[in-house]
Amino acid sequence: MSTTRLVIQNSFLNFIASVSQRIGQTIIFILVARLLTAESAGALKLANTYTSILLTFSLWGLDHILIREVAKDRETAGRYLGGFLGLRVILAILLWCGLVLLMPILPYTSESKRLILIMTASIIPGSISNLYQSIWVALEDVKPTSAVFLFFSLVRVGAGTWLLWRGEPLTAMAYLFLLATTAEMSANAWLTHRRPELSTFSWRPDLPFWIENLKIAAPLIAVSFILIVEYQFDAVILSLFRPEDEVGVYGTAATILALLLFLTRSYQLAIFPVLSRAYHSGQASLQNVYGKSMKYLLLGALPITLLVSLWSGYIIRSIFGPGYEEAGKILSVLVWAFYISALNVCSSRLLIVANRQRLMATFAFMSMGGNLLLSLWLVPRFGGIGTAWARVLAMPLYSIPTLYYVQRYICPISWRGWWRVGLSRLKEL
């Protein structure tokens, strides 16, 4: 199979896998927003947000290191998986225990706090499952894990809908998601350990290996922390200034954006190992892969962004029903974060491939600082719409310097006439 077809196939399968990991939560959120109250939707949005925040920290960027190294040498798959599993478990448990200690001082109801703690416990099996998925991504064979994630997303949707129909509390669905994530992890582990590349796998702790890779990945956790502020912390900041019903309204718009971001993340997972190989194959190969990827991403993301922005009110009414009119205005602004994220996909992966994680962290810190300052200024005055503007306006503080550095020092490509060429190729497809 050609590289282009393989990337397209794996992008589609990664999209299924990524959406499947969260689709249960998304559909349940939609049902809660339609059938219950905005306060309930806000509590569920907060629980999902805290889960995403803690999960990102527990990953520590180790999945990026694993994909980069295993894509270059498949024989290292067992060593990296065995070495990183123990780290993931330790990090996830420590983070969850830290949240337990922090929870009493947070300004939420007791029901919301209980919901958050149950949901966030899923980061332990979730972080392990992510490592198994990363192995398949590095080996460019994501069909089995995509099937697993799709199956358990259907379990979440079906069982969650049944619980809502029975009138069970949201905590019951939180337990459901925790059990489903644990079963998902077990299925991924069983499939992965059957691969011959894992013949060197060992559970034995390797302290020097841990220390070495924790240092290598340290800039990536800094980037992850910064991107958490940009992509996940918006709902938390809003919850500190506005009541939970407004968080629920904002959460409806953020849910649509999250689904769109799965598109760019899916392509990111597929192109990462290809970029890693191309970088070590020579400048011509890298320019070919990077140039084509940038063209197709930006050409594909623009019409989606424009359509969602123009029809945002209709989209929100169709999915969530009446009572969320303000979310349409929020989505019309927030969707531009999707287009900017498309610009970041290949350049960000190239910085990791070229071992420029520290520089990546510096650019991300600039964006985070802008987001925080804008949020503190806009959110108290304008609520959810201010949160959306803060997020979109801060993102170029990362995107522009990242793109400039890649173009200047890693992979310069000619942009002259590339829109015309890209459009003609899209027509051929």
Q: Report which of 39, 119, 130 is spatially closest to residue 91, judged by C-alpha positions.
A: 130
State mean pLDDT over 369-378: 87
Mind listing the pLDDT tens digit for each residue in 8-57? 555 565 556 555 566 666 777 777 777 777 677 777 778 887 887 788 77
229: which 2 tokens? Answer: 């502020």
Report whether pLDDT(220) > 70: no
Question: Which tokens in the block code for residue 102?
Answer: 């922090």
> What pLDDT is attached to residue 24?
63
- Identify the pLDDT of residue 232: 60
Query: Which residues make Cβ contacts (< 8 Å) with residue 338, sequence separation at least 6?
Result: 257, 260, 261, 263, 264, 301, 304, 305, 308
Better-predicted residue by pLDDT, 251 or 403: 403
- Maximal C-alpha separation, the chain: 60
Reported as a single tens digit per residue, the pLDDT across 74-128 is 888 888 888 788 888 888 999 999 999 988 888 788 888 888 999 899 999 988 9
For range 270-295, the mean pLDDT: 81
Q: What is the pLDDT of residue 426?
A: 45
Distance of alpha carbon 267 from alpha carbon 18, whole angstroms:
11
Outline where 311-406 has alpha helix (H): 312-320, 325-334, 336-353, 357-382, 384-394, 396-405
CA–CA separation, 311 and 369 (whole Å): 31
* pLDDT surpasses 50 at 138: yes
Instruction: Give the pair of three-digit tokens for residue 404.
Output: 């400039």
Cβ neighbors of 100 (< 8 A, separation 6 or more) are 117
- The residue with greater pLDDT, 82 or 418, is 82
Say if residue 414's pLDDT is above 80: no
pTM of the model: 0.61
Mean pLDDT for the chain overall: 80
Higher pLDDT, 421 or 429: 421
Q: Does residue 403 contact residue 347 with C-beta atoms inside 8 Å?
A: yes
DSSP assignment letter at 236: H
**What does the alpha-carbon distance between residue 360 and residue 237 come to, in Å, rounded to a whole number?**
24
400: exposed, middle or buried (Cβ count in 10 Å: 0-12, 13-18, 19+)? middle
| Whole-number pLDDT of residue 429 | 42
pLDDT at 235 over 80: no
Please tell me the distance from the alpha carbon of residue 349 to that of residue 294, in angstroms, as a whole number.
12
Q: Assess whether pLDDT exceeds 80 at residue 236.
A: no
Rounded CA gap, 254 and 33, in Å? 13
Residue in the block written with tokens 């806000």: 42
CB-count exposure of residue 299 (10 Å: 0-12, 13-18, 19+): middle
Give tens-digit pLDDT for 346-359. Answer: 888 888 888 887 78
DSSP string, 82-119: HHHHHHHHHHHHHHHHHHHHHGGGSSS-HHHHHHHHHH
Cα–Cα distances in Å, from 35 out to 47, 173, 208? Answer: 18, 15, 53
Instruction: Choose from 151-160, 255-264, 391-400, 405-414 the range with maximum mean pLDDT.
Output: 391-400
> What is the Cα–Cα distance from 287 to 298, expressed in whole angstroms?
16
Greatest mean pLDDT range, 364-368, 387-391, 423-427: 387-391
CA dihedral 54, 229, 153, 296 (to 10 degrees): -140
Confidence band, pLDDT 50/70/90 cuts, at residue 293: confident
**216 versus 279: which is more confidently predicted?**
279
Q: How far apart are CA 416 and CA 33, in angstroms?
A: 47
> What sign does the CA torsion over 176, 178, 182, 188 have?
positive
74 alpha carbon, distance to own chain's centre:
25
What per-residue confidence (pLDDT) applies to 295? 83
What pLDDT shows up at residue 70?
Answer: 82
Assigned token pair, 411: 């992979």
- CA atoms of 224 and 56, how far apart (whole Å): 7
State the pLDDT at residue 93: 92
Residue 224's pLDDT band, with cuts at 50, 70 and 90, is low
Residue 167 has pLDDT above 90, yes or no: no
What is the C-alpha to C-alpha distance for residues 361 and 356, in angstroms, rounded to an integer? 9
